[in-house]
Amino acid sequence: MAEAQKVFRYVAIGPSGRRVKGAVPATSEQAAFAQLKRDGLSPVRIRAALNRSSETSRSRGLSERECAELLADLAALLKAGSDLRTALSILGTRSGRPAIKKFCGALSAEISGGTAVDSAFARALPVKHAFVGALIAAGEASGDLAGGLQRASDMLASRIKLRDQLVSTLSYPAFVLISTVAAFLVILLFLVPSLAPLAEDLGGAPPLTLRMLMMASQFLRANAAVLAILLGLCAPTLFVAARAGALQRVTDRFLLEGPMRRITAAIVFGGFAICLGDMLAAGASMSQALRLAVRSVRSSAGRARLEPVIASVREGQALSLALERVSGFPLTVTRLAAVGEASGALGVMLGRAGRLEEQGALRRIEAIGRILGPAMIILLGGMIGLLMGGLLTSIQQIGDVAIQ
């Protein structure tokens, strides 16, 4: 089993020579040091975060949708002329959810104690939302904190919309498949056993279709306990594998290299381009934006392919050329990145290219869903029809033998 990850607080010297503070997830202090060196930082101090559960408890119970709404509300209040602490107090007071009240109170207390706004948000939010702190820092540096908060809210809302559309598109085919499997089990476990005594009383060999169904039914009924135990063991095994990260690595590799690789690459790398483009458009440095954008990619296989880009760009290579070397990276994004580098609008062009890729992937998924649903109904309905036809034929043959 892979070693569990911890959170390490660090102080490091950035590429510009400035001291930076932050947190990095890693399995050990040596792994954290190596990760920071890959990100272009020179660590000065690294130590494990104490009481990690208390740090993450502020965002525990706060859904991704609520985070997006909270950031949007903060941006609206700041644009209306309120200061950040007053805005947090207003949102915490009017909210009926204890998790939001605790979240706003903890943020307000840290900011009042002198913690930088981006660091306070980075501490309160999960590691997978590290880009939120970068967008806030970029907005604060450019004098537009409300804009940084709004961009972070828009990115979270975009991820939520993408996830909801995927669930909506794939839920109908999944329902058809589950319903068909349930119908097969009902036929094999209840209907076929009721016909077996009739076939045995008549003597002779029953029809071929009924014999096959009886064999399948007897196997299921005789091994029901064993199959139930195996299914019961599969659930905790899959859970442990998922916690260890082994299942995710296998799944990510299959999605990026399997038959759905074009759609998966558009979603994974399109989201990366949106995140990177929005941070660059907000005024973040290329080094910081690229490091956080790579870290925000949820696919471990996708992150592994993108990490060499950080070193290539740090060595002076153009971003578009570095992205062209990434296996499976969409050509649309690299071409628009080259246009952005030539025109000085790299952030805007990356964001636009990433959204185009995500929209194209969603259109392909919706098209597959529209075809897959009826196709599964026809296929599985035909299989059940053949099954029922075989049963009815067997019943007729049994009746003919009984009459004779």
Read off the pLDDT of residues 272-296 as tens digits, 9 standing for 90 and up: 888 888 888 877 788 878 887 887 7
Output the pLDDT for position 59. Answer: 47
Confidence tier at 202 by pLDDT (50, 70, 90): low
Higher pLDDT residue, 330 or 107?
Answer: 330
Among candidate residues 111, 120, 67, the one with its CA nearest the CA of residue 86? 111
Query: pLDDT for 74-102, tens place per residue?
Result: 888 888 888 888 888 888 888 777 888 88
* Single pTM value for the model: 0.64
Q: Which residues contact 295 (CB under 8 A, 6 or more apart)?
A: 127, 130, 131, 303
pLDDT band for position 158 (50/70/90)?
confident
Cα–Cα distance for residue pair 262/361, rounded to 1 Å: 8
Residue 86 is which amino acid?
A: T
Return the residue matching tokens 């570095």. 322
Query: Which whole number is the average pLDDT over 252-268?
Result: 83
56-158 and 159-404 share one fold: yes
d(CA 268, CA 165): 15
What is the percentage of the chain residues whose pLDDT exceeds 90? Answer: 5
- CA 349 – CA 214 distance, rounded (Å): 63
Domain spanning 159-404: which superfamily?
A: Type II secretion system (T2SS), domain F (1.20.81.30)
Structure tokens at 244: 């260890």
**How is residue 160 written in tokens?**
């939520």
Q: What's the maximum distance between 2 C-alpha atoms anywhere in the chain?
A: 98
pLDDT of residue 323: 92
Q: Domain extents for the chain? A: 6-50, 56-158, 159-404
Domain boundaries 56-158, corresponding CATH code:
1.20.81.30
Predicted confidence band of residue 5 (pLDDT cuts 50, 70, 90): low
- With a pLDDT cut of 70, the percent of the chain lying above it is 82
* Cα–Cα distance measured from residue 325 to residue 350, given in angstroms and rounded to the nearest whole number: 17
Tokens of 376: 């599964």
